[in-house]
Structure 1
Amino acid sequence: MIQQRNIALCIILSIVTCGIYGLIWFVKLTDETNMVTPPNPAGKPYTSGGISLLLMIVTCDIYGLYWAYKQGEKLDNAKAARGLPTSNQAVIYLILQLVFPVVGWAMMQNQLNEMAPPAQNM
């Protein structure tokens, strides 16, 4: 189940921890996007967050460009499956991954927050 995250707090924690929280956020963002996305038509599982992070590190962020574009497509598919209006932002995420990845991650998290169930107060 996905949870809503405070985007400003995620960005601040990424800065304060010198990027370590950013890596954790990247993995969670990938895994939660995979959870909300309808199954792959080819029947293949989506790449997990940990594998995506490993590939991004090994390829010096070349995989990160592919990842950002695919995240945009997956988020559009998830919104369409829920009857929400879609906005094709895959290319924007790709460009932001080149320039300033955290902004793209924040935009992706915002879209996930829209699809997450409301937080329950205990």
Structure 2
Amino acid sequence: MIRRNIALCIIFTLITCGIYGIYWFICLTNETNEAADEPDTSGIAAYLLVLITCGIYGLYWAYRRGEKLDLAKQKRGLISSNSGVLYLLLYLFGGIITYALIQHELNQLD
């Protein structure tokens, strides 16, 4: 897993009009799968599913990332909560907020 500066990721996403956000989404998907040590939908496949379903898959994606992060925390002996619901609700208001929180959790797991 790569430690990323959340502020720079947000700035790059804004500067590139969302192109970096696509890359970030793919990386977050792959890295949460790796952190939980459970194979799941790859980042590229997840992004394509978001496109095909006009964003609906993104809601499921956000919930699953929370579950994956909770599982990764449990495997490391850390306290975990039901992050899936939080990420799902925040994804409704803006995906970049969810991305930032997921990245924060991944940075702490490293």
Give me the whole-angstrom Cα distance separating, in 2, the residues matched to 1:3 and 1:67: 20
2:37 aligns to what? 38
Moved over 4 A (4+): none
Identity %: 53
Q: Which has the higher helix share?
A: 2
TM-score (norm 1): 0.87
Give me the whole-angstrom Cα distance separating, in 2, the residues matched to 1:55 and 1:62: 9
Task: Please provide the CA RMSD for this pair.
Answer: 0.8
Give unpaired runs (5+ residues) of structure 1. 40-44, 117-122
1:95 correspondence with 2:89: yes
TM-score (norm 2): 0.97
1:63 aligns to what? 57
1:47 correspondence with 2:41: yes
Give unpaired runs (5+ residues) of structure 2. none
Query: How far is 1:92 from its partner?
Result: 1.1
Query: How far is 1:87 from its partner?
Result: 2.1
Number of paired residues?
110
Give me the whole-angstrom Cα distance separating, in 1, the residues matched to 2:47 and 2:2: 20
The structure number with the bigger radius of gyration is 1
Amino acid at match of 1:107: L
